[in-house]
A and B are shown apart, each in its own frame.
Chain A
Amino acid sequence: MSRSTPHRSAFTISEMLMGLVITALVGLAVTGMTYAFAQGWRHEEAEQSEGAVKRVGQARLAGIIRLARYIGFTGRIQTEVDGQCVSGAACLMWMADANDDGRMQVNEIVALVQDPSGEIRLYQVASDSEATLIDAFDDDMDSADDVLDFLRIGGLAYQTVCDNVADASFTWRPATADGVLGNFEYVITFRSGVTRYGTVTRRLPNTPPEDDG
């Protein structure tokens, strides 16, 4: 008497191949989707952090302008980097009369400079530098050369105000006789291509304080 055994059969080669192809396709689709998700999240995160950097940069820039006691040169300066002439925005400001003598000393002056490295930097004389001993900054700070002279002073330190900057421009329009206050305008184009345009209004003297000149 023969006993019937349950019918068992393995996959055929074509079934195996088809299964493998489908598995590979599904795997590819899932990987692609995961990659797309990851890219999306990364992009969003980068945009959010860049937004924060822009906001902080703008706030810091405005904060510095609001502290100035006198704004001198605003415009572009030419510097040489690796033998090439590079142009960037710059601004010279008198920030405080530290010794109450009514004059601008070099340690009371700062320069906002767009650096070719992609930063807007605030240069000032380091507090422990011997440059603070220079009696006075004997100039009215109204030309690009004055910025370059200031940047040549030894013992300067800087802090980064704004990062990832592709281009910038600073314009100071002093107060007018008919009651319009001084306007500091800035335009910053970030490396991502985003532009920020802002104005800071100040009531400041149009002429520099008495200098040693």
Chain B
Amino acid sequence: MADPLAQLPEAAARRCRGFTLAESLIAATTLGVAVVGIVGSLLASYQQSRESSDTEAAVSLAEQLAEEIASRPLPLPSQRVNYDGVGRAYFNDVLDYDGYSDTTATLAQAGSGSVEWHSDGVFSRRVEVRRLAAPGGEENAGGDFAIVTVRVETPGGRVISTSRLITIVKARPE
């Protein structure tokens, strides 16, 4: 069968021809790249906003625990008393917090009661206490100083940590 376009004048035939496969593919690719770019930037913006609010919550959680630990005394090794009970409500001193961990899924208050934490994900906290001979010095089980580090992991896996230096309170020499 003869090509009907061949019977038309050249200009008319050019106007009636459809898009070629290559043209269609180029158009589709260009559109796809544009959409991916726009959606990607939207997602990145949302992700950043989420990370920022998670970081803020993590800092707040870390500060809460650090402040609570700082309210406990740092005793001399000979004066330590073992705590009897489950949970940090029974902790007597700063060193009792070493290795303590909790999550916002079951977050307890220091005294009694629990915190109903509303969030999309779960934050977890972990405490490390290192006893030091001097600030910035080497670890020493009988030292007068302790560095308390609270690490909080956000639902996105980011870790925020805060540290506090705590000292033994001694009576001033006469």
> Which A residues form the contact surface with B (CB < 8 A)?
7, 33, 36-37, 40-41, 43-44, 47-48, 51, 54-55, 58, 169, 171, 173, 178-183, 185, 187, 189, 193-201
Q: Kindly list chain B residues whose C-beta atoms are within 8 Å of the C-beta of A194.
A: 53, 57, 118-119
Pick from B19-27, B107-115, B132-140 the stretch touching chain A.
B107-115
Whether B45 pairs with A44 at a CB distance below 8 angstroms is yes
Q: How many angstroms between the C-alpha atoms of A193 and B119 in the bound complex?
A: 7
Q: Kindly list chain A residues whose C-beta atoms are within 8 Å of the C-beta of B72.
A: 179-181
Q: Taking the nearest CB of chain A, how far is it from the CB of B30, in angstroms?
A: 13
Whether A40 pairs with B42 at a CB distance below 8 angstroms is yes
Whether B92 pairs with A187 at a CB distance below 8 angstroms is no
Most buried by B among A47, A48, A178, A199: A199
User: How many residues of B sit at the interface, in one of the four size bands?
Assistant: 35 or more
> Which B residues form the contact surface with A (CB < 8 A)?
9, 11-12, 38, 42, 45-46, 49, 52-53, 56-57, 60-61, 63-65, 67-68, 70-73, 75, 81, 92-93, 107, 109-111, 113, 115-119, 169
Chain B: CB-nearest residue to A41: B45
Chain B: CB-nearest residue to A52: B56
Q: Kindly list chain B residues whose C-beta atoms are within 8 Å of the C-beta of A183.
A: 68, 71, 110-111
Whether A198 pairs with B111 at a CB distance below 8 angstroms is no
Whether A195 pairs with B117 at a CB distance below 8 angstroms is yes
Q: Kindly list chain B residues whose C-beta atoms are within 8 Å of the C-beta of A54.
A: 56
Q: How many angstroms between the C-alpha atoms of A41 and B49 in the bound complex?
A: 10
Whether B49 pairs with A43 at a CB distance below 8 angstroms is yes
Whether A201 pairs with B45 at a CB distance below 8 angstroms is no
Whether B56 pairs with A51 at a CB distance below 8 angstroms is yes
Q: Taking the nearest CB of chain A, how far is it from the CB of B34, in angstroms?
A: 10
Contact of A198 among B11, B52, B63 (CB under 8 A): B63
Q: How many angstroms between the C-alpha atoms of A30 and B63 in the bound complex?
A: 45
Whether B42 pairs with A185 at a CB distance below 8 angstroms is no
Q: How many angstroms between the C-alpha atoms of A40 and B10 in the bound complex?
A: 51
Can you list 21 pairs linking A and B with CB atoms under 8 Å apart?
A36-B42, A47-B53, A51-B53, A171-B109, A178-B81, A178-B92, A179-B93, A179-B169, A189-B116, A189-B118, A194-B57, A195-B116, A195-B119, A196-B57, A196-B60, A197-B61, A198-B60, A198-B64, A198-B67, A199-B64, A201-B70
Contact of B49 among A47, A55, A178 (CB under 8 A): A47
Q: Kindly list chain A residues whose C-beta atoms are within 8 Å of the C-beta of B75.
A: 179
Chain A: CB-nearest residue to B66: A199
Q: Kindly list chain A residues whose C-beta atoms are within 8 Å of the C-beta of B68.
A: 183, 199, 201
Whether B109 pairs with A187 at a CB distance below 8 angstroms is yes
Most buried by A among B71, B73, B93: B71
Chain B: CB-nearest residue to A33: B38
Q: Kindly list chain A residues whose C-beta atoms are within 8 Å of the C-beta of B11.
A: 7
Q: How many angstroms between the C-alpha atoms of A33 and B38 in the bound complex?
A: 9
Q: How many angstroms between the C-alpha atoms of A51 and B109 in the bound complex?
A: 23
Chain A: CB-nearest residue to B59: A55
Quick one: given A183-B110, A197-B107, are A51 and B52 in contact (CB under 8 Å)?
yes
Whether B110 pairs with A44 at a CB distance below 8 angstroms is no
Q: How many angstroms between the C-alpha atoms of A48 and B45 in the bound complex?
A: 12
